[in-house]
Amino acid sequence: MRPVAPPAIVFALRGVLPCYPWPLTPPRADSLERTWLLESGKKEHKKQPSVSVLGMKRSNIITIALSSLPPPRLLPPAIYSMDSSVLDKEDVQRLQALIPTEEELCLIKEAKAQNPKSPLAPAELCLLTLGEITHLDSRLQLWSFALEYDSLEREIAEPLFHLKLAMEQLSASQTFRCILATVLAIGNFLNGCKARGFELSYLGKLSQVRDTHTRQPLLHHVCVLLMQLYPQSSDLYSDITAVTKAGKYDYSLVQTNFTQLEVLCKASWDQLKILDKVDDKRKGGKLEKRKDEALAADGMLRNRLPKILKECEERLKVLRAVHRRVINRFHSFLLFLGYSRAMVRDTKAEDFCKTISNFSLEYRTTRQSLLMQRERERQRSGAESPGPSTPTSRRKQQQMPTEENEEQCRLEEVLRTPEPVPRRDATLPRNRRRTADNQGPFSLKLKW
């Protein structure tokens, strides 16, 4: 008979071990052995290493790029069809940095052959998947050109547009003409000559030259005269905003970018011809059913590439004509301002625009300070000074003018007096045309 335990002992055992009935039976040896084998098999499966043959730096770059890309198994059909819904412009740029070399592919294939049961690391698996795509570099370059053409064209068209607009604003600005005429008259008055023009680089030196009495810069006196003689003139800086924008571009780099864009367009046609031949062979081969179905289903951009490249070629022709006309117009504008042909060849558009923009900023600052000073004097005179009919004001009006006032009056008289018929000046370069000698400094018409 089976021994019976006392009730108190049974209750205590049930409270401690409620899942085991009485009496407690130890587990069998065969079940323990089976459990140990299963656990050891799982541990061996978890510890199975993956095959990695790439360097640490290269592997980290690929792993970081894979975090933003779709799974590697989805990359070949998307690249063959150039599906922008799967890969955008940034993804295409990442893939261009992940193109495997022949050495990397050989190392991965050898390691895979030596360890057929071991899985490849994510970086190696991605490179092996990309290596199976035919003409991967050409496909990505062609896809990138089709996606980036608008931005590349904009990098060339925007500087040309701002330069064209800058020339239009300068030629239409009456304040700019008044400033040039005033500076020329002051220079002729101070030097005692009759020059017909001056280099625009001297505009940047007006704030550096000071008079001997009040130590005010020459730009200060130019602003005073303009505000007296041309009260309707503006601050110039707000009239020529395009000049400031054009001065921020490098037009030699614009020429380089345009040349590179032409080279890329020509290379894209060659790449498209190669891909068409390769795809025709793939369609006629044995693997037609599996890969060609993906092309037919998702081949949106790939089928429109001939039309896109033809449109890009037509837009390049228009851009080439715009570039040539804007540069020729800039040279004509410099001739209109009195530059010689030798100076026109050596003058860069960005340097010219920076000179005008910096001067306009200094002129606006000086003009604003003069306006504020006049406003303060007007408020002070209205609060403290006596009226115009008082004896004190009459005594001030009867005072003798100083030397500075005499010079100011003489200069204003020179500016108000019309100049005689201009004669040939030996300080300026002679023009070969006879008709140019009988024209004034600003009478040349700009050909738009």
pLDDT of residue 194: 84
pLDDT bin (cut points 50, 70, 90) of residue 287 is very low
Closest CA to 193 of 182, 185, 201, 203: 185
Q: Which residue has the tokens 């380089």?
A: 256
- Reply yes or no on whether the pLDDT at 60 is more than 80: yes
pLDDT bin (cut points 50, 70, 90) of residue 289 is very low
Share of the chain above pLDDT 90, in %: 33
**Token pair in block for residue 413:** 């008289």
pLDDT of residue 298: 43
Express each pLDDT in 408-448 by its tens digit: 666 666 556 655 545 555 544 555 454 444 444 434 443 43
* Spatial contact of 373 and 186, defined as CB atoms under 8 Å apart: no
Average confidence (pLDDT) over 257-264: 93
Neighbours of 61 (CB within 10 A): 16
Express each pLDDT in 183-219 by its tens digit: 988 888 888 888 888 888 888 888 888 888 888 888 9
pLDDT of residue 337: 87
The span from the CA of 401 to the CA of 103, in Å, is: 91
* Spatial contact of 58 and 75, defined as CB atoms under 8 Å apart: no
The span from the CA of 291 to the CA of 294, in Å, is: 6
pLDDT bin (cut points 50, 70, 90) of residue 303 is confident
- Reply yes or no on whether the pLDDT at 46 is more than 70: no
pLDDT of residue 197: 80
**What does the mean pLDDT of the chain come to?**
78
pLDDT of residue 195: 82
User: pTM of this prediction?
Assistant: 0.69
**Token pair in block for residue 297:** 């289903």
Q: Residue 217 pairs with which residues in a beta bridge?
A: 210
Decide which of 262 and 277 is more confident: 262
Least confident piece of the model among 86-90, 383-387, 392-396, 415-419:
392-396
Helices (H), 173-240: 174-191, 218-229
Least confident piece of the model among 10-19, 83-92, 235-244, 360-369:
10-19
Express each pLDDT in 324-358 by its tens digit: 999 999 999 999 888 888 999 899 999 999 999 99
pLDDT of residue 416: 62
- Reply yes or no on whether the pLDDT at 88 is more than 80: yes
Mapping DSSP to helix (H, G, I), strand (E, B) and coil, where does residue 120 land? Answer: strand
Mapping DSSP to helix (H, G, I), strand (E, B) and coil, where does residue 217 land? Answer: strand
The span from the CA of 442 to the CA of 439, in Å, is: 8
* Spatial contact of 54 and 62, defined as CB atoms under 8 Å apart: yes
